[in-house]
Amino acid sequence: MIFFILGLLLIYFDKFYFIEYMFFFFNSCMVLYVILLDWMSLMFISFVFLISSMILLYSMEYMNYDYNKSRFLLLMNFFIMFMVFLIISPNLISILLGWDGLGMVSFCLVIFYQNKKSYSSGLVTVILNRLGDLFIIMSMIWMLNFGSWNFILINYYMNLNYLFFISLMIMIASLTKSAQIPFSSWLPLAMAAPTPVSSLVHSSTLVTAGIYLMIRFNEIFLTFSFLNYLMVISCLTMLMSGLNAIFEFDLKKIIAFSTLSQMSFMFMILCLGKIDMCFFYLLMHALFKSMMFLSSGILILNMNNNQDIRKMGGLIDYLPFCGLIFMFTLMSLCGFPFFCSFYSKDLIFEYFLMMNLNFFFFFFFLFSFLLTFFYSIRVIYYLLMMNFSMFNYLMIIKFESKILIISMMFISFIMLFFGSFFMWLMFYKFDLILLEFKFKILSVLILFFSIWFFFELNNFLFSMSYMISLFNIFFFGLMWNLLFFKVNFFLNNFLSFGFFTLKVFEIGWIEYNFNSGLIFFLKKMIGFSQNIFLNSYKVYILLFFLWFLIILLFNY
Protein backbone atom coordinates (compact mmCIF):
# COMPACT_ATOMS: atom_id res chain seq x y z
CA MET A 1 0.00 0.00 0.00
CA ILE A 2 2.86 2.33 0.90
CA PHE A 3 4.53 1.56 -2.40
CA PHE A 4 1.30 2.23 -4.22
CA ILE A 5 0.84 5.63 -2.62
CA LEU A 6 4.47 6.49 -3.32
CA GLY A 7 3.96 5.47 -6.92
CA LEU A 8 0.94 7.74 -7.15
CA LEU A 9 2.98 10.62 -5.77
CA LEU A 10 5.69 10.01 -8.30
CA ILE A 11 3.15 9.98 -11.13
CA TYR A 12 1.75 13.24 -9.82
CA PHE A 13 5.12 14.99 -9.59
CA ASP A 14 6.52 13.21 -12.64
CA LYS A 15 9.78 12.33 -10.94
CA PHE A 16 11.99 9.38 -10.33
CA TYR A 17 14.52 8.62 -7.61
CA PHE A 18 17.87 7.03 -8.22
CA ILE A 19 19.40 5.60 -5.03
CA GLU A 20 22.97 4.37 -4.99
CA TYR A 21 24.05 2.19 -2.11
CA MET A 22 27.82 1.72 -1.96
CA PHE A 23 29.01 -1.64 -0.66
CA PHE A 24 32.70 -0.78 -0.54
CA PHE A 25 35.29 1.45 -2.12
CA PHE A 26 38.50 -0.19 -3.21
CA ASN A 27 41.33 1.22 -5.33
CA SER A 28 39.07 3.89 -6.77
CA CYS A 29 36.62 1.14 -7.75
CA MET A 30 33.15 1.62 -6.38
CA VAL A 31 30.92 -1.39 -5.90
CA LEU A 32 27.44 0.00 -6.04
CA TYR A 33 23.97 -1.32 -5.72
CA VAL A 34 21.66 0.98 -7.60
CA ILE A 35 17.97 1.24 -6.91
CA LEU A 36 15.60 2.93 -9.27
CA LEU A 37 12.29 4.10 -7.91
CA ASP A 38 9.90 5.55 -10.41
CA TRP A 39 6.16 5.25 -10.74
CA MET A 40 6.40 2.16 -12.91
CA SER A 41 8.55 0.12 -10.56
CA LEU A 42 6.62 1.26 -7.49
CA MET A 43 3.26 0.42 -9.01
CA PHE A 44 4.54 -2.96 -10.11
CA ILE A 45 6.02 -3.67 -6.68
CA SER A 46 2.74 -2.76 -5.01
CA PHE A 47 0.86 -5.15 -7.30
CA VAL A 48 3.40 -7.92 -6.73
CA PHE A 49 3.13 -7.50 -2.97
CA LEU A 50 -0.66 -7.41 -3.02
CA ILE A 51 -1.01 -10.53 -5.12
CA SER A 52 1.75 -12.46 -3.40
CA SER A 53 0.42 -11.70 0.08
CA MET A 54 -2.98 -13.00 -0.95
CA ILE A 55 -1.39 -16.07 -2.50
CA LEU A 56 0.61 -16.74 0.66
CA LEU A 57 -2.60 -16.49 2.68
CA TYR A 58 -4.24 -18.88 0.25
CA SER A 59 -1.37 -21.35 0.29
CA MET A 60 -1.45 -21.47 4.09
CA GLU A 61 -4.76 -23.23 3.71
CA TYR A 62 -4.10 -24.95 0.39
CA MET A 63 -0.82 -26.57 1.37
CA ASN A 64 -2.04 -27.33 4.86
CA TYR A 65 -1.83 -31.08 4.46
CA ASP A 66 1.49 -31.08 2.65
CA TYR A 67 4.54 -32.46 4.35
CA ASN A 68 6.99 -29.80 3.18
CA LYS A 69 4.96 -26.72 3.99
CA SER A 70 7.81 -24.67 5.42
CA ARG A 71 10.03 -25.30 2.42
CA PHE A 72 7.22 -24.16 0.19
CA LEU A 73 6.68 -20.90 2.04
CA LEU A 74 10.41 -20.19 2.10
CA LEU A 75 10.74 -20.74 -1.63
CA MET A 76 7.76 -18.50 -2.32
CA ASN A 77 9.33 -15.72 -0.27
CA PHE A 78 12.60 -16.11 -2.12
CA PHE A 79 10.72 -15.87 -5.37
CA ILE A 80 9.06 -12.61 -4.42
CA MET A 81 12.38 -11.21 -3.18
CA PHE A 82 14.13 -11.91 -6.47
CA MET A 83 11.26 -10.37 -8.38
CA VAL A 84 11.59 -7.20 -6.34
CA PHE A 85 15.34 -7.19 -7.04
CA LEU A 86 14.56 -7.36 -10.72
CA ILE A 87 11.97 -4.63 -10.60
CA ILE A 88 13.94 -1.98 -8.75
CA SER A 89 17.24 -2.31 -10.53
CA PRO A 90 18.31 -0.14 -13.43
CA ASN A 91 21.61 -1.93 -13.58
CA LEU A 92 22.17 -4.95 -15.77
CA ILE A 93 24.17 -6.85 -13.17
CA SER A 94 21.55 -6.48 -10.48
CA ILE A 95 18.92 -7.38 -13.06
CA LEU A 96 20.88 -10.56 -13.68
CA LEU A 97 20.78 -11.24 -9.94
CA GLY A 98 16.99 -11.14 -9.92
CA TRP A 99 16.68 -12.85 -13.29
CA ASP A 100 18.89 -15.77 -12.39
CA GLY A 101 17.32 -16.09 -8.96
CA LEU A 102 13.87 -16.29 -10.54
CA GLY A 103 15.01 -19.09 -12.82
CA MET A 104 16.60 -21.05 -9.98
CA VAL A 105 13.72 -20.69 -7.55
CA SER A 106 11.19 -21.47 -10.25
CA PHE A 107 13.06 -24.71 -10.84
CA CYS A 108 12.89 -25.51 -7.14
CA LEU A 109 9.18 -24.73 -7.10
CA VAL A 110 8.36 -26.74 -10.21
CA ILE A 111 10.00 -29.82 -8.74
CA PHE A 112 8.27 -29.26 -5.42
CA TYR A 113 6.29 -32.46 -5.92
CA GLN A 114 9.15 -34.84 -6.33
CA ASN A 115 7.93 -37.17 -9.04
CA LYS A 116 9.39 -37.91 -12.42
CA LYS A 117 6.96 -35.78 -14.39
CA SER A 118 7.56 -32.60 -12.48
CA TYR A 119 11.29 -33.24 -12.50
CA SER A 120 11.42 -33.46 -16.28
CA SER A 121 9.32 -30.33 -16.69
CA GLY A 122 11.44 -28.52 -14.12
CA LEU A 123 14.54 -29.38 -16.10
CA VAL A 124 13.02 -27.92 -19.26
CA THR A 125 12.09 -24.78 -17.33
CA VAL A 126 15.52 -24.26 -15.89
CA ILE A 127 17.36 -24.98 -19.12
CA LEU A 128 15.31 -22.53 -21.15
CA ASN A 129 15.65 -19.91 -18.42
CA ARG A 130 19.40 -20.41 -18.38
CA LEU A 131 19.36 -19.69 -22.08
CA GLY A 132 17.85 -16.32 -21.26
CA ASP A 133 20.50 -15.70 -18.60
CA LEU A 134 23.13 -16.44 -21.17
CA PHE A 135 21.81 -13.75 -23.48
CA ILE A 136 21.72 -11.24 -20.62
CA ILE A 137 25.34 -12.06 -19.80
CA MET A 138 26.26 -11.59 -23.44
CA SER A 139 24.63 -8.18 -23.51
CA MET A 140 26.50 -7.32 -20.30
CA ILE A 141 29.76 -8.18 -22.00
CA TRP A 142 28.87 -6.00 -24.93
CA MET A 143 27.98 -3.20 -22.53
CA LEU A 144 31.56 -3.19 -21.28
CA ASN A 145 32.29 -1.23 -24.46
CA PHE A 146 30.31 1.67 -23.09
CA GLY A 147 31.77 1.74 -19.61
CA SER A 148 28.60 1.38 -17.62
CA TRP A 149 25.96 -1.20 -16.96
CA ASN A 150 23.32 1.33 -16.10
CA PHE A 151 21.21 1.08 -19.16
CA ILE A 152 19.18 4.12 -18.33
CA LEU A 153 22.23 6.34 -18.62
CA ILE A 154 23.17 4.62 -21.82
CA ASN A 155 19.70 5.14 -23.18
CA TYR A 156 20.07 8.86 -22.83
CA TYR A 157 23.68 9.48 -23.77
CA MET A 158 24.66 6.96 -26.40
CA ASN A 159 24.15 6.92 -30.11
CA LEU A 160 21.46 4.32 -30.55
CA ASN A 161 23.08 2.66 -33.53
CA TYR A 162 25.76 1.22 -31.28
CA LEU A 163 23.18 -0.55 -29.17
CA PHE A 164 21.90 -2.97 -31.77
CA PHE A 165 23.53 -6.07 -30.30
CA ILE A 166 22.49 -5.26 -26.76
CA SER A 167 18.90 -4.83 -27.75
CA LEU A 168 18.94 -8.03 -29.81
CA MET A 169 20.34 -10.03 -26.89
CA ILE A 170 17.88 -8.55 -24.43
CA MET A 171 15.03 -9.18 -26.80
CA ILE A 172 15.95 -12.86 -27.02
CA ALA A 173 16.34 -13.05 -23.23
CA SER A 174 12.89 -11.61 -22.68
CA LEU A 175 11.51 -13.99 -25.30
CA THR A 176 12.79 -16.92 -23.27
CA LYS A 177 11.38 -15.55 -20.04
CA SER A 178 8.01 -14.71 -21.51
CA ALA A 179 7.93 -18.03 -23.39
CA GLN A 180 7.45 -16.74 -26.91
CA ILE A 181 7.48 -19.09 -29.80
CA PRO A 182 10.76 -20.93 -30.05
CA PHE A 183 10.97 -21.22 -26.27
CA SER A 184 7.34 -21.65 -25.34
CA SER A 185 7.35 -25.29 -24.30
CA TRP A 186 8.31 -24.66 -20.69
CA LEU A 187 5.27 -22.65 -19.77
CA PRO A 188 2.62 -25.41 -19.95
CA LEU A 189 5.12 -27.92 -18.60
CA ALA A 190 5.72 -25.73 -15.54
CA MET A 191 2.14 -26.51 -14.54
CA ALA A 192 3.52 -29.46 -12.58
CA ALA A 193 4.08 -26.98 -9.75
CA PRO A 194 1.44 -26.58 -7.03
CA THR A 195 -1.34 -24.19 -7.95
CA PRO A 196 -0.39 -21.16 -5.79
CA VAL A 197 3.04 -21.22 -7.40
CA SER A 198 1.66 -21.21 -10.89
CA SER A 199 -0.64 -18.42 -9.84
CA LEU A 200 2.30 -16.32 -8.69
CA VAL A 201 4.47 -17.26 -11.67
CA HIS A 202 1.88 -16.54 -14.30
CA SER A 203 0.33 -13.43 -12.89
CA SER A 204 2.97 -11.06 -11.72
CA THR A 205 6.42 -12.53 -11.41
CA LEU A 206 8.21 -14.86 -13.76
CA VAL A 207 6.66 -14.50 -17.19
CA THR A 208 6.02 -10.79 -16.79
CA ALA A 209 9.71 -10.21 -16.03
CA GLY A 210 10.55 -10.46 -19.72
CA ILE A 211 7.96 -7.88 -20.67
CA TYR A 212 9.01 -5.64 -17.80
CA LEU A 213 12.58 -5.73 -19.09
CA MET A 214 11.37 -4.81 -22.55
CA ILE A 215 9.38 -1.92 -21.10
CA ARG A 216 12.48 -0.75 -19.26
CA PHE A 217 14.56 -0.90 -22.41
CA ASN A 218 11.89 0.62 -24.60
CA GLU A 219 13.90 3.61 -25.70
CA ILE A 220 16.43 1.39 -27.35
CA PHE A 221 13.92 -0.97 -28.85
CA LEU A 222 11.55 1.36 -30.50
CA THR A 223 14.16 2.55 -32.96
CA PHE A 224 15.16 -0.73 -34.47
CA SER A 225 13.76 -2.61 -37.38
CA PHE A 226 13.61 -6.03 -35.77
CA LEU A 227 10.45 -4.97 -34.03
CA ASN A 228 8.70 -6.28 -37.13
CA TYR A 229 10.16 -9.71 -36.55
CA LEU A 230 9.20 -9.52 -32.90
CA MET A 231 5.70 -8.66 -33.92
CA VAL A 232 5.51 -11.65 -36.24
CA ILE A 233 6.79 -13.89 -33.43
CA SER A 234 4.23 -12.57 -30.99
CA CYS A 235 1.48 -12.96 -33.59
CA LEU A 236 2.37 -16.58 -34.18
CA THR A 237 2.60 -17.27 -30.45
CA MET A 238 -0.79 -15.77 -29.91
CA LEU A 239 -2.27 -17.94 -32.63
CA MET A 240 -0.48 -21.06 -31.43
CA SER A 241 -1.48 -20.67 -27.82
CA GLY A 242 -5.09 -19.89 -28.71
CA LEU A 243 -5.38 -22.98 -30.88
CA ASN A 244 -3.71 -25.12 -28.23
CA ALA A 245 -6.01 -23.85 -25.53
CA ILE A 246 -8.90 -25.05 -27.68
CA PHE A 247 -7.47 -28.52 -28.05
CA GLU A 248 -6.20 -28.88 -24.50
CA PHE A 249 -8.07 -30.70 -21.72
CA ASP A 250 -5.92 -29.99 -18.68
CA LEU A 251 -7.48 -27.08 -16.79
CA LYS A 252 -4.21 -25.59 -15.62
CA LYS A 253 -2.64 -25.97 -19.01
CA ILE A 254 -5.53 -24.14 -20.64
CA ILE A 255 -4.94 -21.24 -18.28
CA ALA A 256 -1.22 -21.41 -19.03
CA PHE A 257 -1.94 -21.14 -22.72
CA SER A 258 -4.20 -18.18 -22.09
CA THR A 259 -1.32 -16.54 -20.21
CA LEU A 260 0.91 -17.23 -23.17
CA SER A 261 -1.52 -15.60 -25.57
CA GLN A 262 -1.91 -12.56 -23.30
CA MET A 263 1.89 -12.28 -23.05
CA SER A 264 2.21 -12.19 -26.80
CA PHE A 265 -0.64 -9.70 -26.88
CA MET A 266 1.44 -7.45 -24.61
CA PHE A 267 4.48 -7.91 -26.82
CA MET A 268 2.40 -6.84 -29.75
CA ILE A 269 1.31 -3.64 -28.03
CA LEU A 270 4.91 -3.01 -27.10
CA CYS A 271 5.94 -3.34 -30.73
CA LEU A 272 3.32 -0.79 -31.68
CA GLY A 273 4.97 1.62 -29.26
CA LYS A 274 2.22 1.95 -26.65
CA ILE A 275 4.29 1.34 -23.55
CA ASP A 276 1.88 2.80 -21.02
CA MET A 277 -0.93 0.64 -22.28
CA CYS A 278 1.28 -2.41 -22.24
CA PHE A 279 2.18 -1.75 -18.62
CA PHE A 280 -1.43 -1.12 -17.67
CA TYR A 281 -2.51 -4.35 -19.29
CA LEU A 282 0.33 -6.13 -17.49
CA LEU A 283 -1.05 -5.02 -14.13
CA MET A 284 -4.65 -5.86 -14.96
CA HIS A 285 -3.60 -9.20 -16.34
CA ALA A 286 -1.75 -9.90 -13.10
CA LEU A 287 -4.94 -9.26 -11.15
CA PHE A 288 -7.32 -11.46 -13.04
CA LYS A 289 -4.85 -14.21 -13.87
CA SER A 290 -3.91 -14.74 -10.23
CA MET A 291 -7.60 -14.97 -9.39
CA MET A 292 -8.15 -17.45 -12.17
CA PHE A 293 -5.43 -19.74 -10.88
CA LEU A 294 -6.57 -19.48 -7.29
CA SER A 295 -10.15 -20.43 -8.12
CA SER A 296 -8.98 -23.25 -10.38
CA GLY A 297 -6.85 -24.44 -7.47
CA ILE A 298 -9.97 -24.77 -5.33
CA LEU A 299 -11.71 -26.64 -8.14
CA ILE A 300 -8.80 -29.04 -8.50
CA LEU A 301 -8.59 -29.57 -4.76
CA ASN A 302 -12.26 -30.46 -4.68
CA MET A 303 -11.95 -32.82 -7.61
CA ASN A 304 -9.30 -34.74 -5.68
CA ASN A 305 -6.40 -33.51 -7.83
CA ASN A 306 -8.18 -34.21 -11.07
CA GLN A 307 -7.31 -31.54 -13.62
CA ASP A 308 -9.15 -32.94 -16.62
CA ILE A 309 -12.04 -30.69 -17.61
CA ARG A 310 -13.82 -33.59 -19.26
CA LYS A 311 -14.42 -35.07 -15.83
CA MET A 312 -15.69 -31.86 -14.31
CA GLY A 313 -19.04 -30.35 -15.04
CA GLY A 314 -21.98 -28.79 -13.29
CA LEU A 315 -19.66 -27.30 -10.70
CA ILE A 316 -21.78 -24.19 -10.27
CA ASP A 317 -24.12 -26.22 -8.05
CA TYR A 318 -21.34 -27.37 -5.77
CA LEU A 319 -18.86 -24.53 -5.57
CA PRO A 320 -20.96 -21.47 -6.34
CA PHE A 321 -18.54 -18.79 -5.11
CA CYS A 322 -15.51 -20.29 -6.71
CA GLY A 323 -17.27 -20.96 -9.99
CA LEU A 324 -18.60 -17.41 -10.02
CA ILE A 325 -15.14 -15.93 -9.56
CA PHE A 326 -13.77 -18.22 -12.23
CA MET A 327 -16.43 -17.00 -14.61
CA PHE A 328 -15.69 -13.36 -13.74
CA THR A 329 -12.01 -13.82 -14.42
CA LEU A 330 -12.70 -15.45 -17.75
CA MET A 331 -15.04 -12.60 -18.63
CA SER A 332 -12.42 -10.06 -17.77
CA LEU A 333 -9.94 -12.05 -19.82
CA CYS A 334 -12.26 -11.52 -22.76
CA GLY A 335 -12.51 -7.82 -21.93
CA PHE A 336 -16.12 -7.82 -20.78
CA PRO A 337 -17.37 -4.25 -20.25
CA PHE A 338 -16.56 -2.57 -16.91
CA PHE A 339 -14.34 -5.37 -15.66
CA CYS A 340 -10.74 -4.42 -14.99
CA SER A 341 -9.20 -5.49 -18.24
CA PHE A 342 -11.94 -3.94 -20.34
CA TYR A 343 -10.35 -0.53 -19.88
CA SER A 344 -7.02 -1.68 -21.21
CA LYS A 345 -8.01 -4.30 -23.72
CA ASP A 346 -10.70 -2.34 -25.44
CA LEU A 347 -8.45 0.70 -25.64
CA ILE A 348 -5.69 -1.37 -27.19
CA PHE A 349 -8.12 -2.96 -29.58
CA GLU A 350 -9.33 0.39 -30.82
CA TYR A 351 -5.80 1.70 -31.12
CA PHE A 352 -4.95 -1.34 -33.13
CA LEU A 353 -7.82 -0.73 -35.50
CA MET A 354 -6.63 2.85 -35.96
CA MET A 355 -3.08 1.80 -36.69
CA ASN A 356 -3.28 1.08 -40.44
CA LEU A 357 -1.39 -2.18 -40.25
CA ASN A 358 -1.25 -4.69 -43.02
CA PHE A 359 -3.72 -7.49 -43.58
CA PHE A 360 -1.55 -10.23 -42.03
CA PHE A 361 -1.33 -8.57 -38.63
CA PHE A 362 -4.94 -7.45 -38.76
CA PHE A 363 -6.22 -10.91 -39.56
CA PHE A 364 -4.10 -12.68 -36.98
CA PHE A 365 -4.96 -10.16 -34.29
CA LEU A 366 -8.68 -10.54 -34.85
CA PHE A 367 -8.42 -14.29 -35.18
CA SER A 368 -6.57 -14.64 -31.90
CA PHE A 369 -9.14 -12.37 -30.27
CA LEU A 370 -11.75 -14.79 -31.49
CA LEU A 371 -9.74 -17.71 -30.15
CA THR A 372 -9.51 -16.03 -26.74
CA PHE A 373 -13.28 -15.71 -26.58
CA PHE A 374 -13.60 -19.23 -27.88
CA TYR A 375 -11.49 -20.98 -25.29
CA SER A 376 -12.87 -18.98 -22.39
CA ILE A 377 -16.40 -19.90 -23.46
CA ARG A 378 -15.25 -23.48 -23.79
CA VAL A 379 -13.88 -23.55 -20.25
CA ILE A 380 -17.05 -21.99 -18.86
CA TYR A 381 -19.10 -24.55 -20.77
CA TYR A 382 -17.09 -27.52 -19.60
CA LEU A 383 -16.80 -26.48 -15.99
CA LEU A 384 -20.05 -24.86 -15.18
CA MET A 385 -22.63 -25.60 -17.81
CA MET A 386 -22.07 -29.15 -18.99
CA ASN A 387 -24.21 -31.77 -17.30
CA PHE A 388 -22.54 -33.76 -14.61
CA SER A 389 -20.09 -36.53 -15.13
CA MET A 390 -20.18 -39.27 -12.54
CA PHE A 391 -16.70 -38.52 -11.46
CA ASN A 392 -17.45 -35.42 -9.48
CA TYR A 393 -20.34 -37.01 -7.64
CA LEU A 394 -17.99 -39.65 -6.40
CA MET A 395 -15.10 -37.41 -5.59
CA ILE A 396 -16.49 -34.13 -4.42
CA ILE A 397 -15.50 -33.00 -0.95
CA LYS A 398 -17.00 -29.52 -1.01
CA PHE A 399 -14.18 -27.63 0.50
CA GLU A 400 -14.41 -23.88 0.41
CA SER A 401 -12.86 -22.79 3.65
CA LYS A 402 -12.98 -19.25 4.99
CA ILE A 403 -9.33 -18.36 4.42
CA LEU A 404 -9.47 -19.39 0.80
CA ILE A 405 -12.54 -17.27 0.22
CA ILE A 406 -11.15 -14.22 2.03
CA SER A 407 -7.91 -14.37 0.09
CA MET A 408 -9.80 -14.51 -3.16
CA MET A 409 -12.39 -11.95 -2.18
CA PHE A 410 -10.01 -9.02 -1.89
CA ILE A 411 -8.37 -9.20 -5.30
CA SER A 412 -11.61 -10.09 -7.01
CA PHE A 413 -13.16 -6.97 -5.50
CA ILE A 414 -10.35 -4.89 -6.99
CA MET A 415 -10.66 -6.79 -10.23
CA LEU A 416 -14.37 -6.08 -10.50
CA PHE A 417 -14.61 -2.45 -9.50
CA PHE A 418 -11.23 -0.74 -9.70
CA GLY A 419 -10.37 -0.99 -13.39
CA SER A 420 -11.62 2.48 -14.23
CA PHE A 421 -9.86 3.86 -11.14
CA PHE A 422 -6.49 2.58 -12.35
CA MET A 423 -7.15 3.83 -15.83
CA TRP A 424 -7.89 7.35 -14.64
CA LEU A 425 -4.73 7.24 -12.58
CA MET A 426 -2.43 6.21 -15.37
CA PHE A 427 -3.78 7.93 -18.44
CA TYR A 428 -4.28 11.51 -17.51
CA LYS A 429 -3.70 12.56 -21.09
CA PHE A 430 -6.57 11.47 -23.24
CA ASP A 431 -6.21 10.41 -26.82
CA LEU A 432 -8.82 10.84 -29.47
CA ILE A 433 -10.03 7.68 -31.10
CA LEU A 434 -11.98 7.99 -34.29
CA LEU A 435 -13.51 4.83 -35.62
CA GLU A 436 -16.34 3.81 -37.86
CA PHE A 437 -19.37 2.28 -36.20
CA LYS A 438 -18.68 -1.20 -37.53
CA PHE A 439 -15.12 -1.14 -36.24
CA LYS A 440 -16.29 0.17 -32.92
CA ILE A 441 -18.71 -2.69 -32.54
CA LEU A 442 -16.32 -5.26 -33.99
CA SER A 443 -15.21 -6.71 -30.65
CA VAL A 444 -18.81 -7.35 -29.60
CA LEU A 445 -19.48 -8.91 -32.98
CA ILE A 446 -16.50 -11.17 -32.53
CA LEU A 447 -17.78 -12.20 -29.12
CA PHE A 448 -21.20 -13.18 -30.44
CA PHE A 449 -19.68 -14.87 -33.44
CA SER A 450 -17.39 -16.92 -31.22
CA ILE A 451 -20.30 -17.98 -28.99
CA TRP A 452 -22.20 -19.16 -32.05
CA PHE A 453 -19.07 -20.72 -33.45
CA PHE A 454 -18.45 -22.63 -30.24
CA PHE A 455 -21.87 -24.20 -29.88
CA GLU A 456 -21.98 -24.94 -33.57
CA LEU A 457 -18.60 -26.53 -33.78
CA ASN A 458 -18.39 -28.14 -30.36
CA ASN A 459 -19.57 -31.57 -31.35
CA PHE A 460 -17.81 -31.34 -34.65
CA LEU A 461 -14.41 -30.43 -33.28
CA PHE A 462 -14.20 -32.43 -30.11
CA SER A 463 -16.32 -35.45 -30.81
CA MET A 464 -15.85 -36.51 -34.37
CA SER A 465 -12.41 -37.91 -34.78
CA TYR A 466 -13.06 -38.86 -38.38
CA MET A 467 -13.79 -35.39 -39.60
CA ILE A 468 -10.38 -33.90 -39.00
CA SER A 469 -7.46 -36.05 -39.97
CA LEU A 470 -5.58 -37.28 -36.95
CA PHE A 471 -2.34 -35.60 -37.86
CA ASN A 472 -3.88 -32.17 -37.63
CA ILE A 473 -5.35 -32.79 -34.21
CA PHE A 474 -2.08 -34.11 -32.92
CA PHE A 475 -0.34 -31.11 -34.40
CA PHE A 476 -2.63 -28.60 -32.72
CA GLY A 477 -3.05 -30.54 -29.54
CA LEU A 478 0.62 -30.90 -28.87
CA MET A 479 1.75 -27.29 -29.30
CA TRP A 480 2.61 -27.31 -33.00
CA ASN A 481 5.16 -30.01 -32.20
CA LEU A 482 7.10 -27.44 -30.19
CA LEU A 483 7.19 -29.93 -27.33
CA PHE A 484 10.28 -31.50 -28.82
CA PHE A 485 12.03 -29.14 -26.40
CA LYS A 486 11.33 -31.76 -23.76
CA VAL A 487 13.76 -33.59 -21.58
CA ASN A 488 13.89 -36.36 -24.14
CA PHE A 489 15.23 -33.85 -26.63
CA PHE A 490 18.10 -32.92 -24.36
CA LEU A 491 18.67 -36.52 -23.38
CA ASN A 492 18.59 -37.87 -26.89
CA ASN A 493 20.70 -35.19 -28.48
CA PHE A 494 23.06 -33.52 -26.07
CA LEU A 495 23.69 -36.22 -23.54
CA SER A 496 24.11 -38.88 -26.20
CA PHE A 497 26.47 -36.53 -28.01
CA GLY A 498 28.41 -36.21 -24.76
CA PHE A 499 28.55 -39.97 -24.42
CA PHE A 500 29.74 -40.24 -28.02
CA THR A 501 32.50 -37.72 -27.43
CA LEU A 502 33.51 -39.53 -24.27
CA LYS A 503 33.63 -42.83 -26.10
CA VAL A 504 35.55 -41.58 -29.09
CA PHE A 505 37.70 -38.73 -27.86
CA GLU A 506 38.34 -39.32 -24.18
CA ILE A 507 38.73 -43.05 -23.85
CA GLY A 508 38.65 -44.16 -27.47
CA TRP A 509 40.97 -44.52 -30.45
CA ILE A 510 41.54 -40.79 -30.86
CA GLU A 511 42.97 -40.63 -27.37
CA TYR A 512 45.21 -43.63 -28.12
CA ASN A 513 46.42 -42.32 -31.47
CA PHE A 514 46.66 -38.62 -30.91
CA ASN A 515 46.82 -37.49 -27.33
CA SER A 516 48.75 -40.14 -25.44
CA GLY A 517 50.18 -41.47 -28.68
CA LEU A 518 51.59 -38.06 -29.47
CA ILE A 519 53.21 -37.82 -26.04
CA PHE A 520 54.75 -41.25 -26.47
CA PHE A 521 56.06 -40.32 -29.94
CA LEU A 522 57.51 -37.03 -28.72
CA LYS A 523 59.21 -38.75 -25.82
CA LYS A 524 60.90 -41.14 -28.21
CA MET A 525 61.95 -38.37 -30.57
CA ILE A 526 63.33 -36.25 -27.76
CA GLY A 527 65.33 -39.17 -26.47
CA PHE A 528 66.73 -39.71 -29.94
CA SER A 529 67.72 -36.10 -30.41
CA GLN A 530 69.23 -36.07 -26.95
CA ASN A 531 71.38 -38.98 -28.01
CA ILE A 532 72.53 -37.03 -31.03
CA PHE A 533 73.45 -34.00 -28.98
CA LEU A 534 75.54 -36.00 -26.53
CA ASN A 535 78.63 -35.56 -28.85
CA SER A 536 79.39 -39.23 -28.79
CA TYR A 537 81.87 -40.55 -31.29
CA LYS A 538 79.49 -43.12 -32.71
CA VAL A 539 77.31 -40.39 -34.11
CA TYR A 540 80.25 -38.74 -35.82
CA ILE A 541 81.40 -42.07 -37.15
CA LEU A 542 77.88 -42.80 -38.37
CA LEU A 543 77.74 -39.41 -40.12
CA PHE A 544 81.12 -39.99 -41.61
CA PHE A 545 80.02 -43.34 -43.02
CA LEU A 546 76.84 -41.84 -44.40
CA TRP A 547 78.79 -39.10 -46.11
CA PHE A 548 81.22 -41.66 -47.45
CA LEU A 549 78.36 -43.78 -48.83
CA ILE A 550 76.82 -40.75 -50.53
CA ILE A 551 80.15 -39.91 -52.14
CA LEU A 552 80.60 -43.47 -53.28
CA LEU A 553 77.12 -43.74 -54.71
CA PHE A 554 76.93 -40.43 -56.56
CA ASN A 555 80.56 -39.86 -57.52
CA TYR A 556 80.69 -41.39 -60.93
By CB under 8 A, name the binding residues for other proteins: 66-67, 113-117, 192, 247-250, 304-308, 310-311, 382, 386-389, 459, 462-463, 465, 470, 473-474, 477-478
CB of 520 to other proteins, least distance (A): 36
What's the rounded Cα separation, in Å, for the pair 457 and 464? 10
Query: From the CB of 463, what's the least distance to other proteins, in Å?
Result: 5
- Comparing CB distances to other proteins, the nearer of 161 and 463 is 463
CB of 73 to other proteins, least distance (A): 17
**Which of 414, 480, 443 is CA-nearest to residue 345?**
443
CB of 105 closer than 8 Å to CB of 78: yes
Backbone φ and ψ for 341, nearest 5 degrees, come out as: -85, -5
Q: Give the residue with the Cβ less far from other proteins, 119 or 410.
A: 119
Distance between CA atoms of residues 292 and 322, nearest Å: 10
Least Å distance, CB 484 to other proteins, is 15
- If the CB atoms of residues 248 and 350 are measured against other proteins, the closer one turns out to be 248
Cα dihedral value 173, 178, 179, 183, nearest 10: 0
CA distance 423 to 342: 10
Polymer length in residues for the chain? 556
- CB nearer to other proteins: pick between 182 and 477: 477
Q: Say if residue 510 is exposed, middle or buried (CB neighbours under 10 Å; 0-12, 13-18, 19+).
A: middle
Q: How far is the CB of 195 from other proteins (least distance, A)?
A: 11
- Report in angstroms how near the CB of residue 250 gets to other proteins at its nearest: 8
When the beta carbons of 101 and 314 are compared against other proteins, the nearer one is 314
d(Cα 485, Cα 150) in Å, to the nearest integer? 34
Residue placing its CB nearer to other proteins in the complex, 111 or 207 = 111
Contacts 24+ apart (CB under 8 A), 157-161: 160/220, 160/223
Q: What angle do the packed helices 69-88 and 206-216 form, to 10 degrees? A: 10
Ramachandran bin of 330, using left for φ above 0, alpha for ψ from -120 to 50, beta for the remaining angles: alpha
Name the residue nearer to other proteins (CB basis): 388 or 490.
388
Nearer to other proteins, 437 or 471 (CB): 471
Nearest approach in angstroms of CB 64 to other proteins is 14
Report in angstroms how near the CB of residue 456 gets to other proteins at its nearest.
Answer: 14
Give the shortest CB-164-to-other proteins separation in angstroms. Answer: 42
Residue 143 or 192: which CB sits closer to other proteins?
Answer: 192
Is 17 in a helix, a strand, or coil? strand
Burial class (CB in 10 A: 0-12, 13-18, 19+), 286: buried
Other beta carbons less than 10 A from residue 154's beta carbon: 21
Query: Left (φ > 0), alpha (ψ -120 to 50) or beta: where does 356 sit?
Result: left
Task: Find the shortest distance in angstroms from Cβ 238 to other proteins.
Answer: 22
